[in-house]
Amino acid sequence: MSKIRIMPNDHWDWSMPVKFSQGWKVGNLVFVGGQISADRHGRTIGKDDIATQTRNVFEHIRTVLRAAGADLSDIVRLNTYYHHSGDGAEVTRFWEEMTRVRMEYIADPGPAATAVRVSGFAFEGLLIEIEAIAAIGPKTRLMPKNHWDWSMPVKFSQGWKVENLVFVGGQISADNRGRTIGKGDIATQTRNVFESIRRVLAEGGARMSDIVKLNTYYTPRAKGVELKKFWEEMTKVRLEYVADPGPAATAVPVEGFAFEDLLIEVEAIAAIGPKQRLMPKSHWDWSIPVPFSQGWKVGDLIFVGGQVSADGRGNPVDKGDLGAQTRNVLQFVQSVLHEAGADMKDLVKLNTYYQAEGQGAEVTKTWEAMTAVRMAHLADPGPAGTAVRIPALGYDGLLIEIEGIAAV
């Protein structure tokens, strides 16, 4: 499988020297790293203006895609991370304003989409970061009948099938007008979400046992021990649907979602056909028995689940030390890759979810310190990267979770 790094001329850049790439073309797939509204020095353009920032971001996405021989119409998965300090209907209005601009760029039919509200980004004044996966060539749109829908007319799809891969967009517990079902009830919402995932997969000829990557975003409105309890309650319901062996999983708390009272949004990638489960020995483990996997190898692609700094019982290691935790996590990423006969140089996509105290320049300093550790472990050239700030992680004392996709 061919692999080409994508680095357009005169693109935005980071605030410090890094090995990241703007994108990678792997066969007929294009992985676009998180795009932001910034200049060549990492300074925000269009501070506090969501419309301007969203347009700049999509122009950057288009530039990366064109350099790979693709276009916006080829996007099959779109992940939007946005920051807004309001609540309730204010967040919905903010999402709708942002989405009107997204609709100016998105093709019809559009990608399977996920949009979550995060605590912020590395650079002051940023309101949005968007990443994408595009597929050049034949693909099938997945739109089950009588499915949930959005609160305004959009071009998004519930999923796409690309050869043996099925991309399922972020599923939520809502009706056909975007109204939340099961307000305040995480068990009900989780069941509704997984039933929706099952329907989308079935449209693509896949089953729950075909899922190789599962991303769960949830908003517990709790901390510490209560947060862990919330995660465990949610996970017990997830286990009603997850196969054994199950997918490589990432689960991170976020500030919320577009619609009021939503508690969870889940997206998935499934692979139909042969695949290899990746479970390195002496690896970290979860606090309750789960069938999740640390990774899966599907042909030339490797999906690495969210790695955290924990021991074999799910207890945090190096509590409160972001640098040490980052090193631990990247060593776990490397172990999963080694199980598949790969290495850090094979990473084409890296997503980092981190916790940072303070505001503005304080967050930038935290991101730069963490990134210096990441640079010590990543190859050059490195993966397309996305990094978003989250309020917490499922276990008290954890500060970072990293997932990735590699191609050999």
Say what percent of the chain tops pLDDT 70. Answer: 100
Contact, 133 vs 30, CB < 8 A? yes
Per-residue pLDDT tens for 38-86? 999 889 999 989 999 999 999 999 999 999 999 999 999 999 999 998 8
Contact 369, 312 (CB under 8 A): no
User: Could you tell me the two tokens for 62?
Assistant: 């288009």
The verdict on pTM exceeding 0.95 is: yes
Backbone dihedral angles phi then psi of residue 322, each to the nearest 5 degrees: -65, -40
Q: b/e map of 217-255 (b: 16 or more CB within 10 Å)? A: bbbbeeeeeebbebbeebbebbbebbeeebbbbbbbbbb
Q: What is the pLDDT of residues 227-282, one digit of tens each?
A: 788 888 899 999 999 999 999 999 999 999 988 899 999 999 999 999 999 999 99
Ramachandran region, residue 353 (left: φ > 0; alpha: ψ -120 to 50; beta: rest): beta
The alpha carbon of residue 45 and the mean position of all alpha carbons in its chain are separated, in whole angstroms, by 24
Q: How far apart are CA 215 and CA 211, in angstroms?
A: 11
